[in-house]
Structure formats: C-alpha cells, structure tokens
Amino acid sequence: MYESSSRRIVPFVLILLIGAARAECQEWKTKWEKVVTDAKKEGKVAVAGPPGTAYREVMRGFEKKYPEITLEFQSFTPANFTARFSKERQAGQYLWDIYVTGPTGFDISAKKSGDLDPIRPLFILPEVLDEKAWFGGFDKAFLDSEKKYIFAFQAQITPQVLINREFVSEKDLNSIKGLLDPKWKGKIAINDPRVDGAGNGRIALWAGQMGEEFVRALLKQDLTLTRDDRQLADWLARGKFPIAIGVNDTDIAELQKLGVGAKVEPLGGKLAEAWRLSTGWGAARFVNKAPHVNAATVYVNWLLSKEGQTAWATTVSRPSRRIDVPRVAGMSPDPGIDYFDIDREERVPLRDKAQEISKSVLR
C-alpha cells in the first residue's frame, strides 16, 4: 500500500520540481529578455573604470555582443572619480551607471551617503548567480558587510615581499620574520604605505596577522619609499634594493621576460603571511539614480559572465574570481589555501591602522 502510493508520489514530485525549474528558467529568461529589450531602448550605459589601456580593451567585448547599446567607458584614478562624482552630485547630475575599480575609501562614504544602490538585484543570469562558479562561493565575492553593494570579481594572490636571490641567498633570508634582522637595514624598499595602495595593503595584512609590534619594527628598518611601481621593480631587478615590499608583479614578470631579475622570487614560501588576496581594480558597484538601469543590468551580467570574465582574465592578465575561466599563472588563488583578504570592509580599520602606524614611524 505504502509502496504503491510512493510510486505515485515520486513521479508527481518530479513533475512538480521539473515544472518549478522550468518556470524558474522561464522566469529569468523572460526577465532577461525584457531587460535587454529595455536596455536597447535606453541605448547606452555609462561606466567609470580603472585607468589603463587593457581595462578599456576588455570592454570592447560588451560592445561587440550588444552593438545596440553604446558603452561610454571612461578611465579614472580613484581620486579623480571621487572628485568628479561628488561635484556632479552636488549639481544634481546623475551621469554614471556602474563604477568598476578597486576597493577604496569611496565605497564606505558612498554607501553611507546613499550614493550606491545594491548591485545584487541586477544579477539575473544563472551563470552569474552560480554559487559554484566563484572562488569561495558567490557571497564571498561581496566586499561590503551587507553583501550587496561591492562585488569583487577579481581575486589575485600577490606575494607580500619579493626578493632578488642574486643578492640575498635563501640561507640568509627565508621568512617574513627574518626581515627584522638588523643586517637588512637600508636594503628594503617599499611602495609608500602611508597612502592607500600596495604598500599599505601589505602592512595592514601583517598588522592583522603578525601584530603591530612586528609592523613597527619592520618600518624602522630604514625603508626606502617610492610611489612609483616601475621604480620599485627596477630597483629590485637591478639589486639596488634586493628586498621589495608591494612590487607590482606584472612589472617583474615583464622584466623577467626580458631576462632581467630572473632570480626575483616571493619570500616566505606558502606561509599565510607571505601572500595576500587582492581585488586589484576588479570590483563593480551600481551607482544610485543611475540613468540607464536596464543597460547597467545587461552590462554587469555580461561583465560577470564566463565570457566577460574570460575577456578580463586574458586581456588584463589578472585572474578572475570565477573558477571556470582561464587561470593566470602565478596569480590565480589556490583553492586549498585560506588567504587573508585585506580588501573586505571589516578590514578597513586594519588598513587605517596600518596607515596610522606608517605615518607615525615613517616621517
């Protein structure tokens, strides 16, 4: 009796589930088609993005896929965008739809002031919402505490310290803690940690993982400062400073392609304090009172799709947080390691603290 009724229920449940799935499928498809139609009517999407030719080139893919929607993409440094955005808002001009850049102080202030709308509701395509498609899961890609405003689609591991083994042997220095040895005084260069950037991120990570005492002691090692990535890479490759903190690894990779700095390598092996997870310039936000909501929806869904992220990873040579797109050698995170992500909103106090310490020590 029980068996016969279950035989009847199972197909019924299956039919219900398939029906629900089809309905859901039908639902997103209907929604997507309507958004695309409305986006084409809007005719354009205004995106502010990071400076650099490669970022601009990535966006060409969107124009090819949706030729009816004009992409007005403009590059900004964070300071320039913040200035322009605030002045425009003061004048009642709402000109931007999406802002793509790294995590900056803008995020906190814009979120508080209501200048950002949640980006999460814009995600429609199942491949974008797919939990398994993202490194660490979909939710982990949000940098803000509410998990709805700032979506980090780039996840790159970068070494905290690079060392030129032509000048410093492994026997002499093989750990981050070893940097405190007085013999390295005057031998270390760093990307200025007193301002937001690569140097500050690294100091913040150590402040969180190894404590303030370590950071203070390190900063007292007679560090040489620069704000020029290229200069830092050149110094390291030539051995002017054989140890460098906050070097842009792309710069080093380019030098190594030429045969320079062949013995430059990360310091500290696979230890947690030797690597950081970085968003780079790859995080998207939806600007409040956006003039082209539908086009913005189409744009972010394209950007976060497999196609968009493949374009990002291959053109910019920075790894996507999506795990179904080509990896970038030496930069894509290893799924087995729990990296310290300094870019999350809850870590902002740590970054501020790192700046404060750096300012007080590096006068």
Tell whether the torsion through CA atoms of 356, 357, 360 and 363 is positive or negative.
negative
The answer to whether 90 contacts other proteins (rule: CB under 8 A) is yes
Q: Which is nearer to other proteins, 36 or 58 (CB)?
A: 58
Positions 112 through 131 that interact with other proteins (CB under 8 A) = 112-113
Reduced to 3 states, what is the DSSP secondary structure of residue 199? Answer: helix
Sole binder of other proteins in the list 35, 39, 61, 73 (CB under 8 A):
73
Please report whether residue 226 would count as binding other proteins according to CB under 8 A: yes
Q: Which parts of 34-63 interact with other proteins (CB under 8 A)? A: 51-54, 56-57, 60
Q: Which stretch binds other proteins (CB under 8 A): 14-22, 101-109, 131-139, 165-173?
A: 101-109
First to last CA, the chain: 85
Report the residue from 35, 138, 149, 194 that binds other proteins according to the rule CB under 8 A: 194
Gap between the Cα atoms of 243 and 259, Å rounded:
19
**Does residue 229 touch other proteins according to CB under 8 A?**
yes
Q: Does 251 bind other proteins (CB under 8 A)?
A: yes
Does the protein bind other proteins through residue 258 (CB under 8 A)?
A: yes
Q: Reduced to 3 states, what is the DSSP secondary structure of residue 148?
A: coil
Is 293 near other proteins (CB under 8 A)? Answer: no
CB 97 within 8 A of CB 290: yes
Select 7 or 185, whichever has its Cβ closest to other proteins.
Answer: 185
**C-beta of residue 282 within 8 angstroms of C-beta of residue 317:** no
Host H or E run for residue 161: strand 161-164
The per-residue b/e assignment along 66-93, b for 16 or more CB within 10 angstroms, e otherwise, is beebebebebbebeebbebbeeebeeee
Does residue 349 belong to the site contacting other proteins (CB under 8 A)?
no
Which residues partner with 243 through β-bridges? 163, 188
Answer for which of 100, 119, 245, 255 binds other proteins (CB under 8 A) is 255
Q: Is 342 in the site for other proteins (CB under 8 A)?
A: no
Interface with other proteins includes 87 (CB under 8 A)? yes
For every residue of 285-341, DSSP letters joined together read EEETT-S-HHHHHHHHHHHHSHHHHHHHHHHH---BSBSSS---TTTSPPTTS---B
User: Can you tell me which residue has the tokens 């300012």?
Assistant: 359
Q: How many residues bind other proteins (CB under 8 A)?
A: 61
Shorter beta-carbon distance to other proteins: residue 6 or 109: 109
- Selected range binding other proteins among 79-87, 131-139, 209-217, 324-332, rule: CB under 8 A: 79-87
Which spans of this chain sit near other proteins (rule: CB under 8 A)?
51-54, 56-57, 60, 72-80, 82-84, 86-91, 93, 104-106, 108-109, 112-113, 189, 192, 194-197, 224-231, 233-234, 238, 240, 248, 250-251, 254-255, 258-260, 362-363
